[in-house]
Amino acid sequence: MTPLPLHLRLKTQYSDFTPLTAPDFAPSNHANSLILATHDASDTTIDLSVPLKKAEFMIEEVESMLRDQVDTHYSELIDGARANASLLAPAKSLSTPLETLQSTHTRLRDRVHASYDKAAPLLDETRRLQEIVVAMRVLVRYLYLARRIEGVKVGESGVEGDSGVQVAMTVSELNHLLRTHPILPTLLPITHHTPHLHTLHHALLTNSTRTLRTPSTPPALIHSNLHILKILAPQAHVEQSVLTALDAYVAFGVREFAGGLDGARRAGSDAAILRAITTAIQSLRPPAQLAESLSTATTSLSISVAALSGVSPISYFWREAGGECGVKLREMVRSHAGVRGVMTGVRGRGEVERVVGEVVGWGDERGRERAVVAGWLSGR
């Protein structure tokens, strides 16, 4: 039969040992309870013999139960003692490293942590000073750039071409500073300047769009104004290689066409002059050797110009070629009597316009642009 556990056996004994196993057991309180069990408040003297006998009896009972437990579980107790003894040596070997670790931790706490606690306020102050220095540098840079565009009015003769590109780069950097440094818009000088900056930004975009839509715009200005759009409207995806290819594309074709027109100066009759002019116009074609370089650039370029006038690289070629042709014909009309007679005559003018319509119709399917380019080519 398995013996009862100690805490259950305590409840089955003559004496009540349950209070001895309570978590909040206190010897002084238990002694007082033994005395109060045999006395009351009216007693003038206290007889401790009875409480002492009861305490001695309880001690004997507890010792008896302990002996019973030891006799019953002696093998487990011996095994536990041996296990404790085997763990004692490793525990002693760990005591020295633990003491060293504790000492090291104490030194770290006293030296490192204490030093950090002292340095933390200084670090915060340094960080704030650094932020102030950065803000001052940004402010100085902004004011320097703002000074460069002070008084600039878009559309004036001095603000075009490369100078317009420089202004656009300055405006773009100012906008970048405003976006990346939120403290700037809160400063009063910047608040007063931002309306002018936004107005200038809008004016540059509007002027570049208008310039690119103007038929008489020279190729150099086309390049610079597309560059301005690339800076201020990067979503247009205008690449430098595309602009270079387009410039070369137009320049080569116009140069070949102008050489053909020069043959009309050497013609000896009106018919020969008219034939030379119409032949030159009919031979006007986009240069085949540059078609491949532009075919790879058509996508990005068409995206960039779609917001302007909806034209393609081919349309740009016809526009620039037409503008140069108009200038060339007007010059020939002024300087060469034979050409002037042909171009002012009804037959000659009608023939040129017919040929122009065919050529431009081959290059551009848009009727409005075809009519405009026909007017340029016929010298109007």
**pLDDT the model gives residue 142:** 92
**pLDDT the model gives residue 172:** 92
**pLDDT the model gives residue 57:** 84
- Helix H, strand E, coil C: the string for 143-200 is HHHHHHCCCCCCCCCCCCCHHHHHHHHHHHHHHHHHHHCCCHHHCHHHHHHHHHHHHH
Q: How far apart are CA 159 and CA 157, in angstroms?
A: 6
> Are the CB atoms for 372 and 355 separated by under 8 Å?
no
What is the pTM (predicted TM-score) of this model?
Answer: 0.41
Q: How far apart are CA 204 and CA 210, in angstroms?
A: 10
Task: Give the CA distances from residue 298 to residues 100, 228, 249, 367, in Å, rounded to whole numbers and listed in that order.
Answer: 75, 19, 12, 22
Q: How far apart are CA 52 and CA 56, in angstroms?
A: 6
**pLDDT the model gives residue 141:** 92
**pLDDT the model gives residue 379:** 39
Q: How far apart are CA 359 and CA 354, in angstroms?
A: 9
Q: How far apart are CA 352 and CA 282, in angstroms?
A: 10
> Are the CB atoms for 165 and 232 separated by under 8 Å?
no
Report the chain (380 residues): mean pLDDT per 10 consecutive residues: 51 64 82 81 80 84 85 86 81 82 83 80 89 89 90 67 86 92 88 90 84 64 77 62 55 66 71 75 57 41 38 57 68 71 64 60 45 41
**pLDDT the model gives residue 188:** 87
**pLDDT the model gives residue 320:** 64
One-letter amino acid for residue 51 of the chain: P
**pLDDT the model gives residue 49:** 84
List the domain boundaries for the chain. 6-75, 144-236, 237-380
Q: How far apart are CA 211 and CA 229, in angstroms?
A: 12
Overall size of the chain counted in residues: 380
